[in-house]
Amino acid sequence: MTQPGHGLFLSFEGPEGAGKSTQIARLAWHLEAAGQAPTITREPGGTPLGTRVRDVLLDPELTIDPLPEFLLYSASRAQLVTNVIRPALDRGKVVVCDRYADSSLAYQGFGRGLDAALLRGITAAATGGLWPDLTVLLDLDPVIGLQRAARRGQPDRLEQADLTFHQRLRQGFVQLAEAEPDRFLVLDATLAEAELERMIWEAVHSRLPASRR
Ligand code: TYD
């Protein structure tokens, strides 16, 4: 968790096609209108190293085993936390991250079947124990999500995985949220975009320090 008096760390999670990018753009607009200059970043990516690792991870031509897959996500995450997220939080900024470590617990844990304790141990090392103050989970039936994602073009390496993989990781996200109800805001991603935008802004606004609302 972010230290009191420091910035605010927000992450967005959900299966493919849940509409994270749209909602992150709308949240960024609200934050800017409220006088914040948020740091918006994403995983995998967000740094020169992360961007290259992202190209490897999403390449549909590559076969990557579950453990190296997780380690590559963790490498991108470690670089992002050290070079982008922590420095921004230390400057008191609001950081919005499109996916974070919960994605590894859901995709590589519930999806690929890697051991949760192993994932948590390496994640602790990669992040120095940094977890978001608020995680917005846009929950969606993967049948709908994959249809939405397919409209965006050729499926990437993860989108190509079979439906049962996507169903397991969706259940994984829901379980993670149930285990930490104070950190997660779970929203039905089939709701109207404007309604989701309103609920997200309400939750974020109430977490901004009173002096900065
Ligand atoms: P991206 O194009 O950013 O997908 P989305 O728009 O759904 O966020 O691709 C990131 C992919 O990587 C996505 O399929 C989720 C997956 N992923 C993992 O499997 N583990 C992780 O730790 C992270 C951060 C992402």
Distance 16 CA to ligand 1 centre (A): 8
Q: Looking at the domain assignment, is residue 1 inside a domain? A: no
- In this predicted structure, the answer to whether residue 5 has a pLDDT above a threshold of 80 is no
Distance 74 CA to ligand 1 centre (A): 12
CB atoms inside a 10 Å sphere around CB 197: 18
The predicted-structure confidence for 75-113, as pLDDT tens digits, reads as follows 999 999 999 999 999 999 999 999 999 999 999 999 999
What stretches of 132-162 show up as alpha helix (H) in DSSP?
142-150
The predicted-structure confidence for 147-163, as pLDDT tens digits, reads as follows 988 898 889 988 888 99
Q: Is the CB of 104 under 6 A from ligand 1?
A: yes
CATH number of the domain bearing residue 28: 3.40.50.300
Q: Is the CB of 187 under 6 A from ligand 1?
A: no
Question: What is the number of structural domains in the chain?
Answer: 1
Average pLDDT over residues 42-57: 98
Token couple for 93:
């900024």
| pLDDT for 4 | 45
Residue 65's domain spans which residues? Answer: 8-212
Report the distance separating Cα 96 and Cα 89, nearest Å: 11
